[in-house]
Each structure stands twice: as structure tokens, then as C-alpha cells.
Structure 1
Amino acid sequence: MKIHHVSVPCKDTVKSKQWYSLALASIGGKVLVDNEYALGLGSAGPVLWLTKADEKYNGRYAGHVSFYAETRAQVDAFHAAAIAAGGEDNGAPG
């Protein structure tokens, strides 16, 4: 099992960008995406997303963990198993 990325709501993306830029530099990471919705942090690609935690974006960009799958069949099997285990469907798997 591999984790593709993690998304965490963040109240102050300006302050977080400053802190993460300094802290992640020590391990080869940096801010790779900076837009009105979120910061994407990592080295080869964004693996940690800090999403705006405010009234405008809170419902749409809540925290989540995204798992990596090798095939579409694995994606569909994971989704079906998660729903069968009592999970909520917040949108089609991608």
C-alpha cells in the first residue's frame, strides 16, 4: 500500500507557506503549487496539500488521504470495499 497524497485544512496558508518552505528545505521539499485554494508541498510532486479552511472552501476541500493504485480495477475494488465497510461516497473514484 502506498499513500499518494494527504490533504489537510489550513487556516493560514501564508504563515504555513513560510514555515513549510523553511522546514521542508532541510529534507529536499518545497512548495510546488500555490494557488487560491491550496499549497502543494513535496519534492518530485505534491504529497502534502494544505487547503484553505474557511467558509468558502471548507466543504469542498476538507482533509483526506489518497491512496495509490496500480490499475483502475484496484481503484474500483477499493471504492466498493470502502463503501461496503460503511464509508461515505463523496464522489466517484478517480
Structure 2
Amino acid sequence: MTETEAETRARKVRERDELYGLDISGVEWHCAPGTEEDKERVEIAYLPGGAVAMRSSLDPDTVLRYTEAEWRAFVLGARDGEFDLEPTPHNGGLEAQ
């Protein structure tokens, strides 16, 4: 039996509410190896059920949370180049001609 659109939407709302209802005050935050403590960096924390929390080191009170499926889709998309930046002077690319 396949979920209807309304059932899928209701399930996603439940998942989001459960995820944001988790107490994450004691989670361990991770960042890329070699990242300097005093520099801006993205930090992630692994949550129950394969979920992930993500924040900026410069704004640790703003935390985004992703279900396992959302995180998997993001990681696979990043590996596939979906989020690659077009080279521009402001992101380290070649200067505009």
C-alpha cells in the first residue's frame, strides 16, 4: 500500500516535530579534520535514528536538523556535484573576464 500525499505530508510533520523535540544539549559536535577552533566552520552532530544536526561555529544557537533520509539525499547530492559553485572571484574562482 502506498502513502497518499496527505499521509506523506503528515508523516514528515511528525518526523520534524520529533526531531526538533529531541534534547541535544549533550551531543558531541564534529567538524572537518584540521579545522581551526577559532575559525568559522560547519559542525554536525549525529542524532538517534540516523538523523543529523548542523550548525555554524559562529552561531551555535541556530541548529538545523535533518532526518536520515534528508541527510542522505544532501550528502549524495554534494558528492554528485549538485552544490558545486560556479567559479567567481568571491569564492576563489578565476577572475571575471
Q: TM-score range by the shorter chain?
A: under 0.3
Structure with a larger share of its residues in helix: 2
Q: Which has the higher strand share?
A: 1
Larger radius of gyration: 2
With structure 2 as the length reference, what TM-score do the two structures score? 0.24
The two structures have a TM-score, normalised by structure 1, of 0.25
Higher relative contact order (CA 8 A, sep 6+): 1
